[in-house]
Amino acid sequence: MSLDSLTLQQLIARTARGDHACFAQVYARTQAHLFGVALRMLGREQAAEDVLQEAFVSIWKSAGSYRSEVNGQPVQPMTWLIAVVRNKALDALRQRTRRAESELPGDDALDDATGASAPSALDLLGEATRALHIEACLGALDGSHRQSLALAYYQGLSHSEVAQQMGAPLGSVKAWIRRGLDKLKACLAARGVAA
């Protein structure tokens, strides 16, 4: 059986057993999506690349911890991979916030790479705090709501692609996404975070 014919779940299982070729296949299939997740969270290409590298090191070491089902709810492999990247990105945001006061230039300085103003320590703290609130609110959602939102917004899949990935009817997926967004918005509002 060729590596191309294996599912992502099978590749992760073989990666857990130390199969370097399967790990390389996991990387090849997912790195573009996962880089996008990190870039959206961090806003800086170099930071996203660093987080992606850390995430893949973690994936290699912890592939055996992936479970296709948690508390009776199915967990797609891509959802697990996105969670690893998201957690690494949140760690990077926390670390950036902690050292922002001493290492980042002031508000009026220009960032060499983009020519844009560098974010202030207060901006970074606000960004990290918002990310933590979003993570907590996402964690409070039902599994189907959380998974459909992750596939639609972190992976960029259409509603029909989410339905196919989850093996669920399109109408159910649309309802899950709509209800998930409503619950997420209500949770963020309750925490005083603008949605």
pTM tops 0.75 = no
Q: How confident is the model at residue 75 (pLDDT cuts 50, 70, 90)?
A: confident
* Average pLDDT value for residue range 43-64: 91
Token digits for 113? 């790479």
Q: Give the model's pLDDT for residue 145.
A: 87
Amino acid at site 114:
T
| Average pLDDT score, the chain | 82
Q: Give the model's pLDDT for residue 71.
A: 78
Token digits for 108? 């009026």
Percent of the chain exceeding pLDDT 70 equals: 86
Q: Crossing angle of helices 170-190/121-139, nearest 10°?
A: 130
Q: How confident is the model at residue 150 (pLDDT cuts 50, 70, 90)?
A: confident
> What is the distance of C-alpha 43 from the center of its chain?
14
Q: How confident is the model at residue 130 (pLDDT cuts 50, 70, 90)?
A: confident
Per-residue pLDDT tens digits for 82-127? 989 998 988 888 887 776 655 545 544 444 554 556 667 777 777 7
Q: How confident is the model at residue 159 (pLDDT cuts 50, 70, 90)?
A: confident
Whether the Cβ atoms of residue 143 and residue 73 lie closer than 8 Å to each other: yes
For the four alpha carbons of 68, 73, 75 and 80, in that order, the dihedral sign comes to: negative
124-128, 147-151, 170-174, 182-186: least confidently modelled range: 124-128
Q: Give the model's pLDDT for residue 107.
A: 46
Domains of the chain: 3-128 (1.10.1740.10), 140-195 (1.10.10.10)
